[in-house]
Amino acid sequence: MRLWTLHSRYLDSRGLVALWREALLAQAVLTGRTRGYVHHPQLIRFRDRPSPTESVASYLREVHGEAARRGYRFDATKIASPECADPIAVAGGQLDYEWAHLREKLQARAPSWLAGIESISRPDPHGEVETEGVNINEDRPFIDKTRKPTEQTIQPFLEVRTTLTDN
């Protein structure tokens, strides 16, 4: 399940259709209409909201709006709730990580689409997401796979390894 923090305008047609389907699946999970994916980590951002159903519906409305702008006919009647929810807060690093990940995917499957967005250095978040002033939870830190590890980030793992090999 991939529910992008990036605005859906950066997705190619395959990515936008996949996002619509994945967000509909998330809605089905959050409304109890399916038993699969119940513990999927991508659902945390919606479950942590006061009204998870309204949050995922707001997310879907944004995706639907982008699809309509492109001339696609996604079925808006599949969106469960007409209510709007407050934006979902995520760490700014999440946006950076997803931007790098999307560019990598587009390089392989849609290089011409990538060429149209490649000059963007700081993409906008999805309409239902805000990234400014967000402090990530210490129990669920963001892992930036695009950066090389430093001695400071590796040290706790080295200490555990040393302890395990000394015994």
Question: Mean per-residue pLDDT for 62-80?
Answer: 96
pLDDT at 150: 52
Q: What is the pTM of this model?
A: 0.74
Q: What is the pLDDT of residue 151?
A: 52
Q: 86-95, pLDDT tens digit by residue?
A: 777 777 688 8
pLDDT at position 158 is 45
Task: Supply 37's token pair.
Answer: 């994916």
